[in-house]
Amino acid sequence: MQATNYLFFLALLLCTGVLPAQNPALVPLPASVSRGTGTYALPATVNVVAEDPDAARVAEFLTDFLEVAGHPTSLNGTGTAAIRLRLTDDADGEAEGYHLLVDDAGVTVEASARAGLFYGVQTLFQLIGTEGAPLPYVEIEDAPRFAYRGMHLDVGRYMFPVDFIKKYIDLMAHFKFNTFHWHLTEDQGWRIEIKQYPRLQEVAAYRDETVEGRAQTRDRGQETFDHERYGGYYTQEEVKEVVAYATDRSITVVPEIELPGHARAALAAYPYLGCEEGAYETAETWGVFPEIYCAGKESTFEFLENVFREVLPLFPGKYVHIGGDEAPKDRWESCPHCQKRMEEEGLENEHELQSYFVQRMEKFLNEQGKTMIGWDEILEGGLAQNAVVMSWRGEAGGIEAAKQGHDVIMTPTDWCYFDYAQADPATEPLGPQAVITVEKVYGYEPLPEELTAEQQTHILGAQANLWTEYVKTPEHAEYMAYPRALALAEVVWSPQLVRDYASFVQRVKALRPLLDRWEVNYATHIFGK
């Protein structure tokens, strides 16, 4: 739900007069919570009734949770319903909104769409997991503040097993994120199978060694390496498996295929895609590299379009991310093919050449029924017609895009880069020196004051980015993401007026048994140890 659509829920909140301290231990905090004076004890066997065939799968998620939590269940049994799941006929209802009621008749969760019912059940998970038995009488009216609530994972630097990708998605779903941004290609590795180009699997998916420590490209000659060949890729069948898993949990997967920069792995496999003749190597260090796709060769566009022809059918969502960031123009400036392209197209400089590159790819993606997302560098030289801007270099790019009438996803480094340390870097695992605490994430406001109310409607939401130059294992990735992801979950879901950091910390403390049950390797800074 965008900013203009959640005022109804603010009104409900104000009518209830509920203070943060009175709220149950729920993250993200619902738009409206009213607590009653009674309690409802779950029976010895909990009969879950799905009153609509489309609610059946959601009911299965609930019964699985109850069984693990020690509550024997029956699904659509003959006895009295303890928990009812109901889809309503409200055509005007918010697709991700839900109504949850606990009273003397039991528990009822209803929504106008499956996604809303799913989120209502996630809230019920937390109620059962933190309130125990019996459950307090409570009425919750809820819907998200923003339509786009994202988590990103970079698998180009280090690859993570499919089982962990599924766990990452499970945790996102529990806290009502709805978009998984899968960063699949990088200078250091190409991670998705493309059958027409087998060298992407044979060459681009691997690097001969990896730099140790904090060394970047600027440190050439000073690095040390581990001398271990590293790599791998996800088969198309594995990708389908992940996408189906996410869809079942109301999460859309957005693939990212980087262009025109961050392309050294692809160039190592197919050198003709670069501006310079000769061999390329998959990158073994981190940073920004001058080797990018040649914008002057038709073969570059043929390659990328063929790649997307295999990628797009795997991802049914409307969005595809093309990167567009950190593309140095050094090679284009000296490339006769690129200079000829600029002359033929009447382009004044290499920034306009990048705009030509991006706009040409956007036209192709639009023809395939997809909407393109790019990092905020795609503003340089002129923004593609229908592109969505992901603003990472602060908020300036997002503000400018919104003023131009383009949709925006906010993900500024100062609040949303979860590869940054959570506390004093001297006490944290190796990584960037910048610090983003849980409290800072919680204090983020995605709607810039510089925008008018109309312009703010173009802010679709926000996303956390987890880059993995220094994150090699699933356990480390979880540590970097949690509990900061819980803070962002509340930023993008809950009305701004209900947010209170002290209340949030207390609610997260109450959720620790659930996090432990789900075996999350979360950081404990906010708990005082």
Q: What is the pLDDT of residues 161-210, one digit of tens each?
A: 999 999 999 999 999 999 999 999 999 999 999 999 999 999 999 999 99
How far is 65 from 182, CA to CA, in rounded Å?
27
Minimum mean pLDDT among 87-91, 348-352, 419-423: which range? 87-91
How far is 497 from 274, CA to CA, in rounded Å?
51
Averaged pLDDT for residues 507-526: 95
Q: What is the pLDDT of residue 22?
A: 59
- Are 261 and 326 within 8 A, CB to CB? yes
User: Angle CA(417)–CA(490)–CA(97) in degrees, nearest 5?
Assistant: 125
How far is 86 from 81, CA to CA, in rounded Å?
12
- How much is the pTM? 0.94
Write the single-letter amino acid at 140: I
How far is 152 from 150, CA to CA, in rounded Å?
7
Q: What is the pLDDT of residue 126?
A: 96
Q: Is the pLDDT of residue 96 over 90?
A: yes
Minimum mean pLDDT among 11-15, 72-76, 258-262: which range? 11-15
Instruction: Give the confidence band of 8 by pLDDT, cuts at 50, 70, 90.
Output: very low
Rg (the chain; Cα; Å): 24
Minimum mean pLDDT among 284-293, 383-392, 436-445, 447-456: which range? 383-392
Residue 124 to residues 194, 268, 408, Cα–Cα distance (Å): 41, 50, 32
In three-state secondary structure terms, 35 is: strand
Q: What is the pLDDT of residue 352?
A: 96
Q: What is the pLDDT of residue 137?
A: 95
Q: What is the pLDDT of residue 218?
A: 61
Q: Which stretches of 294-350 are assigned E, i.e. beta strand?
A: 319-323
Query: Which residue would you say has higher pLDDT here, 225 or 14?
Result: 225
How far is 248 from 377, CA to CA, in rounded Å?
33
Instruction: Determine how β-strand 206-207 pairs with β-strand 230-231.
Output: antiparallel
Q: Is the pLDDT of residue 435 over 70?
A: yes
How far is 133 from 130, CA to CA, in rounded Å?
9
Instruction: Give the confidence band of 220 by pLDDT, cuts at 50, 70, 90.
Output: low
Averaged pLDDT for residues 417-423: 97
Instruction: Give the confidence band of 330 by pLDDT, cuts at 50, 70, 90.
Output: very high
Q: What is the pLDDT of residue 362?
A: 96
Instruction: Give the confidence band of 487 by pLDDT, cuts at 50, 70, 90.
Output: very high
Averaged pLDDT for residues 347-365: 96
Q: Is the pLDDT of residue 13 over 50?
A: no
Q: What is the pLDDT of residue 380?
A: 87
Mean pLDDT of the chain: 93
Q: Measuring CA to CA, which residue among 162, 152, 51 is closest to residue 417?
A: 152
Averaged pLDDT for residues 264-290: 96
Query: Which residue would you say has higher pLDDT here, 134 or 297?
Result: 297
How far is 6 from 245, CA to CA, in rounded Å?
29
Minimum mean pLDDT among 38-47, 128-137, 270-279: which range? 128-137
